[in-house]
Structure 1
Amino acid sequence: MADVLQTYTELSSSTPRSQVSSVLQSIINAPPFTFDQSSRAELIRLLLKDLKSLGPKSRLTTKDAAQALLAVKTLGRIPSGSEPLSEAGNLSTLLSLSTSLKDEPEASTEALRCIANTLLLFDHARQTLISKEVNGGDACVSMLDKATTPEQTFTLARILFFLTVSRSAFIQSLIEEKRPGRTIVDIIASKLDTTMVSILAGTKFARDAMTDILKVAFNILLHYPKMVGSEPSSDAKEWDDSWSTKLEGLLPPLLRAYHTIPPTFPMPLVAPLTHIIHALIVIPVNPSLRPIWFNMIPPAMGRSSTSSRTSSSRKSSTNINSASSSPVLGSPTLGPSESPDRRSNTSIKPSTLDRALSVISAGRKSLSRSPSPSPPSTSRDVFQRTHDLLEVAFSHHFPDNSDPDSQEVREAFKQEVEATGAPSDTSLDDILSPLVVLCTRLCLADESSRVRMREWTVPPDLDRTNPLDERADFLGRCIRLLGSVYHTRLKDAVGEMLYAACDSDAALLSSLFGYGHVAGLLFNKGVMSAPPPPSTSLSSSAPDPSSSTTGQREINPITGTYAPNGPTVSATADMTEDEKEQEMEKLFVLFDRLERELELFARKRRRCVEFSCRDGTL
């Protein structure tokens, strides 16, 4: 749009400010494709040049900065013609404006938004920003540390998210180099606590800020251990648990956020809770971190520096087994050299989040001001929290005894996705599978968690009169998901969770849930037929299928329900015609998939034979 470009070019320092504002607003309001590539690029360069020389002798003054930067951001939304924004000089200009305009918060934030949008559109700009010429990475970390509002935190975290998406030396420098005495781990931990306080207060942009901080944390947790060649943990057979002790400081604030984040409606699992779960999954439940995971150390130790936390964790690891079997789960464990008297005399400094929660809690209990709010109770049970979230999420998305593959369930989820503004391609697999995986990891790492999971899911006094897959509880939903066709990732995750809860023992799994319900899962693990009943020492909750003593009924090992006392009736006798059709449709889908897989296998086999014949090896 040459006339807008010409109009802006004709502006001068003597032009009335109202006219300058009008021209800038016309750029902002112009439709996206009003400008061609050359005019867009030229206008961006002119605006940045004028912004660099703000003052009474320039076209733009400090008061025009916010509107001019908004015009730059609007122009930069279209990649074609926006390439000048990715140049080192212009990135430096935007970075300089974000700091020099600190007295104009809106202008400063707009400059950062321009950088964030540029990093989104141009991948090469990410390397340019962290280059020595610009040094934007260090500058953004410093600004994040000093950020005081959720909006500033959100924008800076978004920039750092783009800078840490791929492995680079910048990630390594973030962890290993201290900036004003603090590493990125310290900064992230602090921001997680402060943004949680803002979320509880209902502050705008607070959830967005925490979400993007968690994205940065996830990138660091994912990349850094592999970059430094850390030794995998002992349970790396199941998971890629490369780890670095320099990241241990992220676990306590993540767990605090996991326990404190308020519930949401209608969907119980939304950002930032989903991102907390993603970050927790990447952190191993190894011996040094196990006391923190299961709250076996005093609060001060959980919030101390990384070095002291590591040494304390090692001291406490000798008492892990006794603590995990304690009647009070999650109770603090004293180290060998720490007596109760000594600990009682130690001053425990609560975190920012704890102090805020104490004030909120005190305000709810009494209208009078408390002279010194005490830290909240630290009896946080990560496994209980995970199980509660699973119960709530499963009962919400699969109400009553509904079929997870039903059209009603899938349509209801689509409507919720639209209502919450989540990406349209979001699936139930994306939302629920990570939480199930977290539960699985906790079960694999902790025997008491496995026992609790079994007792919660299949209690010893379970009424097995009706089919287990028709129950309107967590057990019934898990069994129905094991036969799901549409939610394949969730199906596999639930199967692994149940298998882990049963001590990875096929016999125990089959006895608790019925071999018919877990046959597919066990087949994928190489168990081709029903395993023999487990020994009674494996689990007190495992039923005895052959029991016929007074007060106990015989259990069908295939269905997991009570065996009928009278003559056996057909399995489809109680099914309606619609239910029979649904089962037939499932079978047709499975047979079709099997047929296609067999056909593909046959083609590969024929090709191998043909190649062997040509080479003369057959």
Structure 2
Amino acid sequence: MAPATKSSAMTPSSGKAKLEQVTSILATLKTDLEQTNLLPHQRNTLLEELKVHGRAAENADPIFARNGIEILARYGFESSNSATSREALRCLANALLLQPKTRQMFVDLGFGDKAAEKAKSDNTDDEFLISRILFLLTYDSDLDFDSLVRSHQLAESINAAIARHARRYSKSSRHLSYDNPMSMNTMALSETLKLLFNITHHYPDLQPMFTKSIPHIFKILVRHKIPSPPLEQPVNYLINALLNLDLEEGDKTAKSFSHSAVFPKFDAKCNAEHLINILDQAISVYPEAQLDRVAPPVLTLIRRVYEIAPDAVQTYMQWLLLPTDDERTRPLGKSDTLSARLLRLSTSAMLPTLRGNISSMLFELSGKDAAKFVHNVGYGFASGFLLSHNIAMPESAMDAYANGTEGAEKGGVPVNPITGQRLDAEEEEQGPPMTREEKEREAERLFVLFERLKATGVMNVENPVARAVQEGRFEELDDDADE
């Protein structure tokens, strides 16, 4: 067969003609492996044409057979010509993506170790291709990544690749190519981060092997321009990669905890602040249905950072995420601040995953103290979370609910315990005052409500209406008494 020309490689065939061309190309390449009868440019042209044919699985069956995978792998890992190797690896990566059965073929042919060795290359194109191939092999194959890490230094290769990317983010000049999500730098970094995440997810014992990448990942994350929308690559993969790593042990050589990789000495709050900025932009941009899919990782990471943060950083995060006193001029959740939007999302029916995550974060920001939680977000937003987690409602909050005030006994400005709004900022009631009958019905309703809650066993508090009767704060009136 005469080698294909450059122009023919750009024009994929279909049907029977495509199948014949794929079969012929693979036969020519196999002969070349045995006899080396092609010039480098001829070999590369054939591989490029095969890549075009392999972008769709129809009528390309020979590519996805064991013989086809072996031919591509031998060119990819055994060729001394870098252009030939990369062209073959592109074909191989497409095959592994389109036909999952080829992944075990690749492993059975014994190329897993060679892929790990190839990962030592410091070339960005090689990094992209090898990381993608190894990432695909974390699914539908029995490749032993523990062996690749321990015997072929795969963790060191991944750490080195992430460090190379981090070096491109100097304080004075960020590498602008990373701003384009389709640049080779960005795609290579993304594939490496995806591989790191899957390895640490499927092999938890290997997580400490990647600890040294924590400061580099945070450096890239903070210095990378937040894309629009904000949770696109590589930002989403940077966040995901941190989820499985031990952030508290991120820098064992630090003189104190506050100097760790997560809370650097030059600005302990910078990483936490940047994550919150990403969350802020995300909930402003994504529709709720999409937000429930893309936002949980960043929220989970914020919670993990808060859990191990020094006191000063925790205080700063509380200020950024919890309602401030200034917001209490209106019912909580009614303004356009980040905390208000989070409160609204915490009760959204469109967010089955995220709403619980948000409530948990706000509870943790309140020191996991039910009374502080109710004070911070209001009984209306707190009650559902506390009930669903079998957390008893604090008696102080119940008293405030019954009396209609909260905060005055502590010397603060009284607030509505349900809405969190300051009482002096509430609009005066414009309607007619309640009649005696209406007051009695409301008292009965509250009495029944608290008795039902007490019967569930979730709360063990005294009914405030019953207590008011016992203390003589309710007066029996004659039927003919004036209001």
Q: Normalising to structure 1: TM-score of the pair?
A: 0.60
Alpha-carbon separation, structure 2, partners of 1:458 and 1:114: 51
Q: Which amino acid aligns with 1:141?
A: A
Assess if the C-alpha contact under 8 Å between 1:429 and 1:490 holds in 2: yes
Assess if the C-alpha contact under 8 Å between 1:193 and 1:257 holds in 2: no
Q: Residue 200 of structure 2 aligns with which residue?
A: 221
Alpha-carbon separation, structure 1, partners of 2:80 and 2:42: 14
Alpha-carbon separation, structure 2, partners of 1:398 and 1:128: 46
Larger Rg over CA atoms: 2
- Aligned with 2:12 (options 26, 30, 35): 30
Assess if the C-alpha contact under 8 Å between 1:99 and 1:108 holds in 2: yes
**2:134 is equivalent to residue 155 of structure 1:** no
CA separation of 1:564/1:72 partners in 2, compared to 1, >3 Å: closer, same or farther?
Answer: same
Q: Which amino acid aligns with 1:440?
A: R
Assess if the C-alpha contact under 8 Å between 1:436 and 1:493 holds in 2: yes
**5 Å matches for 1:600-611?**
none
**1:352-389 CA distance string (max 9 Å, x none):** xxxxxxxxxxxxxxxxxxxxxxxxx9536675423333
Alpha-carbon separation, structure 2, partners of 1:110 and 1:391: 40
- Aligned with 2:417 (options 544, 557, 560): 557
Alpha-carbon separation, structure 1, partners of 2:7 and 2:426: 83
**1:93-123 CA distance string (max 9 Å, x none):** 2222235554452x32211011101111221
Q: Which amino acid aligns with 1:120?
A: L
Q: Which amino acid aligns with 2:162?
A: L
**2:128 is equivalent to residue 145 of structure 1:** no
Alpha-carbon separation, structure 1, partners of 2:362 and 2:407: 19
Assess if the C-alpha contact under 8 Å between 1:167 and 1:223 holds in 2: no
Q: Which amino acid aligns with 2:12?
A: A
Q: Residue 387 of structure 1 aligns with which residue?
A: 273
Q: Residue 330 of structure 1 aligns with which residue?
A: 259
Assess if the C-alpha contact under 8 Å between 1:126 and 1:163 holds in 2: yes
Q: Residue 162 of structure 2 aligns with which residue?
A: 192
RMSD: 3.4
Alpha-carbon separation, structure 1, partners of 2:70 and 2:427: 83
Q: Residue 124 of structure 1 aligns with which residue?
A: 101
- Structure 1 stretches of 4+ moved >6 Å: none
Alpha-carbon separation, structure 2, partners of 1:256 and 1:146: 23
- Aligned with 1:48 (options 11, 17, 26): 26
- Aligned with 1:135 (options 110, 118, 121): 110
The structural deviation recorded for 1:186 is 0.8
Q: Residue 282 of structure 1 aligns with which residue?
A: 244
CA separation of 1:279/1:531 partners in 2, compared to 1, >3 Å: closer, same or farther?
Answer: farther
- Aligned with 2:306 (options 419, 440, 443): 443
Alpha-carbon separation, structure 2, partners of 1:145 and 1:498: 44
Paired positions, count: 413
The structural deviation recorded for 1:84 is 2.2
Assess if the C-alpha contact under 8 Å between 1:165 and 1:219 holds in 2: no
Q: Residue 328 of structure 2 aligns with which residue?
A: 464
Assess if the C-alpha contact under 8 Å between 1:44 and 1:82 holds in 2: yes
Q: Residue 408 of structure 2 aligns with which residue?
A: 546
**5 Å matches for 1:99-498?**
99=77, 101-103=79-81, 105=83, 107-131=84-108, 134-148=109-123, 150-165=124-139, 168-177=142-151, 179=152, 183-197=153-167, 200-203=174-177, 204-225=183-204, 245-260=208-223, 262-285=224-247, 290-292=248-250, 297-298=253-254, 323=256, 329-330=258-259, 379=265, 384-395=270-281, 397-398=283-284, 410=287, 427-446=290-309, 448=311, 449-458=313-322, 462-498=326-362
Q: Which amino acid aligns with 1:160?
A: L
Unpaired runs of at least 5, structure 2: 178-182, 399-404, 432-483
Q: Which amino acid aligns with 1:115?
A: L
**1:227-266 CA distance string (max 9 Å, x none):** xxx5xxxxxxxxxxxx754443443433333334x11343
Q: Which amino acid aligns with 1:189?
A: N
Assess if the C-alpha contact under 8 Å between 1:195 and 1:207 holds in 2: no
Q: Residue 479 of structure 2 aligns with which residue?
A: none
Assess if the C-alpha contact under 8 Å between 1:207 and 1:271 holds in 2: yes
Assess if the C-alpha contact under 8 Å between 1:291 and 1:297 holds in 2: no
Unpaired runs of at least 5, structure 1: 1-8, 12-19, 231-242, 299-315, 317-322, 333-376, 400-408, 414-425, 535-542, 572-618
Assess if the C-alpha contact under 8 Å between 1:164 and 1:220 holds in 2: yes
**1:59-118 CA distance string (max 9 Å, x none):** 85321222211111122223233332233433232222235554452x322110111011
**1:182-239 CA distance string (max 9 Å, x none):** x1111101101223445743444000000000111011000112xxxx5xxxxxxxxx
Q: Which amino acid aligns with 1:258?
A: L
SS of aligned partner of 1:523: helix
SS of aligned partner of 1:487: coil
Alpha-carbon separation, structure 1, partners of 2:252 and 2:326: 32
The structural deviation recorded for 1:533 is 4.6
CA separation of 1:273/1:566 partners in 2, compared to 1, >3 Å: closer, same or farther?
Answer: closer
- Give % identity: 21
**1:487-508 CA distance string (max 9 Å, x none):** 3322222111111212222221
Alpha-carbon separation, structure 2, partners of 1:495 and 1:246: 33
Assess if the C-alpha contact under 8 Å between 1:464 and 1:561 holds in 2: yes
Q: Residue 349 of structure 1 aligns with which residue?
A: none
Assess if the C-alpha contact under 8 Å between 1:506 and 1:531 holds in 2: no
Q: Normalising to structure 2: TM-score of the pair?
A: 0.75
Assess if the C-alpha contact under 8 Å between 1:555 and 1:562 holds in 2: yes
